[in-house]
Amino acid sequence: MNFGFTEEQNILRKSVKDFMEKECPPEYVRELEEKEEYPYELYGKMAKLGWLGLPIPEEYGGSGLGPVDLVIMGEEMSRFSFEIAAGFGVSIFCGLNIIEHGSEEQKKFYIPKMIKNEIRLSIGITEPNAGSDAAALTTSAVLDGDSWVINGQKTFQTAADAKNNIICLYVRTDKNVPKHKGISQILVPNDTPGVEIRRIKTLGRKMLHTSEIFFEDVRVPRENLVGELNGGWKMLLSGLELERLYVCSTYIGSSQTLVNLALEHAKQRVQFGRPIGTFQAIGHMLADMQTEVDAARLLVYRAAWMHDQGMPCMKEVSMAKLYGSEAYARLSNQGMQIMGGYGYSMEYDMQRHFRDSRILTVSAGSSQMQRTVIARQMGLRVE
């Protein structure tokens, strides 16, 4: 594995850093979070630069950037805001799924609009009784003439209530087969009659919003089915490695920023006549924190490199997800301890890292599920 980056990748990293410094300063992030506003304006500026199409194949209007490039973007964006970096990927990964499994008509209609930020895409999987056991979903879709009729409920949905959003909804289309074999994906605009979205107030991640969605006799055209009927489970898994890789990149960028915040505070905060960073207890804590960030970073870039080489890497991606999410949560707690009352104050950013990081050992695949995947990849029959 080459631990260096190409000239193009270094340029990409600098471009993202320069853009975020100008357009996404801490004051902007705080304002959005306090108002609980979706970053429409910022994503619009990204779209004008062509960023929403960077990972999209060139034949559909994108640039075809690879996994390592995407990880670079995620790391640099998340240094400024985990949530904004995470939200950047939501539409893109749904779009990549349409490109891989959708019809040519769907690709030509939805992908250019997504790249231009005219529409947004979000994923709809989780239900009250279908979380880690995603195949247990019960939201149903029945064909009635030229329409699908959808009934059911989804919960903990990210960015589902955004303007001009289309939900890439996973539904049960056959109840008489094993649960993994009766699932399909259907595209449902969030303003379709019968769709009711209720905002869930959460501890953190307030910009993108978390919602539950109710579907009551919702009708969408027959051609909104993506891919094969009852082929949804394969679609759900097909982009999982790349999606989780990107999510992992947002952990390391955010973790590095919080370590930097704690370090700067330790250099400036004076107690007993000297900066607290000169006390061994704090100095060693910061040394351990930086070591954890670098370890998480190496796990992410190793997995990205393997994915780029076409090598199987589900175990490596799961290890990066497990370690990165737990490290971010652990480091944010340590950062709060170092900053003391300042960390607890809403005027400083450490508390936001503390709040945002807590859900990450649960979302996008819980730590327990990652350990199960890793153990199975090691040849163990873990249930």
Measured distance CA(164)–CA(197) in Å, rounded = 14
188 is a domain residue: yes
Note down the domain range covering 298: 239-377
Q: Total domain count for the chain?
A: 3
User: Which ranges constitute the DSSP H helices of 56-103?
Assistant: 67-78, 82-101
Per the structure block, which two tokens stand in for 260? Answer: 């930097």
Rounded average pLDDT over 73-80? 98
Q: Are residues 49 and 126 in the same domain?
A: no
383 is a domain residue: no
Measured distance CA(267)–CA(277) in Å, rounded = 6
CATH of the domain at 40: 1.10.540.10
Rounded average pLDDT over 229-233? 97
Q: Tokens 């999987």 — which residue?
A: 125
Measured distance CA(99)–CA(90) in Å, rounded = 15
Per the structure block, which two tokens stand in for 303? Answer: 């997995």
Rounded average pLDDT over 163-171? 98
3-state helix, strand, coil in the chain (%, to 5): 55, 15, 25
Predicted confidence (pLDDT) at residue 2 exceeds the cutoff of 80: no
| pLDDT of the residue at 4 | 87
Q: Are residues 341 and 250 in the same domain?
A: yes
234 is a domain residue: no
382 is a domain residue: no
The residue out of 229, 264, 290 marking a domain boundary is 229
| Reported pTM | 0.95
> How confident is residue 239, by pLDDT bands cut at 50, 70 and 90?
confident
Measured distance CA(181)–CA(236) in Å, rounded = 12
Measured distance CA(129)–CA(134) in Å, rounded = 9
Q: Are residues 291 and 356 in the same domain?
A: yes
The residue out of 178, 203, 229 marking a domain boundary is 229
Predicted confidence (pLDDT) at residue 111 exceeds the cutoff of 80: yes
Q: Are residues 65 and 195 in the same domain?
A: no
1 is a domain residue: no
pLDDT tens-digit series, residues 241-272: 999 999 999 999 999 999 999 999 999 999 99
Q: Are residues 357 and 330 in the same domain?
A: yes
Interior angle at CA 380, CA 374 and CA 381, nearest 5: 110
Predicted confidence (pLDDT) at residue 289 exceeds the cutoff of 70: yes
Measured distance CA(200)–CA(154) in Å, rounded = 12
Q: Are residues 246 and 331 in the same domain?
A: yes
pLDDT tens-digit series, residues 360-378: 999 999 999 999 999 999 9
Q: Are residues 35 and 55 in the same domain?
A: yes
> How confident is residue 1, by pLDDT bands cut at 50, 70 and 90?
low
CATH of the domain at 196: 2.40.110.10
In the chain, the percentage of residues whose pLDDT exceeds 90 is 98
Rounded average pLDDT over 23-32? 97
Q: Are residues 365 and 266 in the same domain?
A: yes
Within its chain, how far is the Cα of 111 from the centroid?
19
> How confident is residue 87, by pLDDT bands cut at 50, 70 and 90?
very high
Predicted confidence (pLDDT) at residue 44 exceeds the cutoff of 70: yes
Predicted confidence (pLDDT) at residue 329 exceeds the cutoff of 70: yes
Q: Are residues 280 and 222 in the same domain?
A: no
Residue 95: closest CA among 110, 109, 85: 110
The residue out of 103, 118, 133 marking a domain boundary is 118
Beta bridge partners of 148: 143, 220
Write the DSSP symbol of residue 127: B
Q: Are residues 182 and 257 in the same domain?
A: no
Rounded average pLDDT over 53-67? 94
254 is a domain residue: yes
Residue 134: closest CA among 234, 1, 44: 234
Measured distance CA(308)–CA(314) in Å, rounded = 13
- Neighbour count for residue 192 (Cβ, 10 Å): 15
Rounded average pLDDT over 294-300? 98
| pLDDT of the residue at 114 | 97
321 is a domain residue: yes
Rounded average pLDDT over 149-173? 98
Q: Are residues 253 and 366 in the same domain?
A: yes
Q: Are residues 136 and 99 in the same domain?
A: no
- Mean residue pLDDT across the chain: 97
Rounded average pLDDT over 109-132? 97
Measured distance CA(379)–CA(325) in Å, rounded = 24
Measured distance CA(231)–CA(248) in Å, rounded = 27
2 is a domain residue: no
